[in-house]
């Protein structure tokens, strides 16, 4: 995976954790979470959702999945 994607992944995970987006009720858009250029690399964000790294609500907000 290219470094830009690893950096993007780390930023998204950090920002969601820092804003408390840990459940569907507390989910945030990437802009609300403070991710720079939230609509950039949308394909990569979709990959993170498909892999279960982050979760997406029906209205397009994101949160961290529960750690099992």
Give the pLDDT confidence of 34-54 residue by residue, as tens digits.
998 888 889 999 999 999 999
Do the domain assignments include residue 52? yes
Is residue 22 in a domain?
A: yes
Which band of pLDDT confidence, cut at 50, 70 and 90, is reported for residue 68?
Answer: low
- For 25, the domain range is 3-63
Beta strands in the chain (DSSP E): 55-56, 62-63
- Beta carbons within 8 Å of 29's beta carbon, 6+ residues apart: 38, 60, 61, 62
For the chain, what is the domain count?
1
Does residue 53 lie within any of the structural domains? yes
Query: Is position 68 within any domain?
Result: no
- 8-state DSSP, 26: G
pTM of the model: 0.90
C-alpha separations of 36 from 30, 42, 48, 68 in Å: 8, 12, 17, 29
């Amino acid at each position: 995976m290219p470094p830009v994607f690893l950096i993007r992944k780390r930023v998204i995970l950090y920002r969601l954790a820092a804003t408390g987006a840990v459940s569907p009720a507390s989910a945030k858009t990437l802009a609300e979470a403070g991710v720079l250029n939230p609509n950039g690399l949308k394909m990569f964000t979709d990959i993170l959702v498909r892999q279960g790294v982050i979760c997406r609500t029906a209205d397009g907000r994101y949160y961290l999945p529960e750690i099992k």
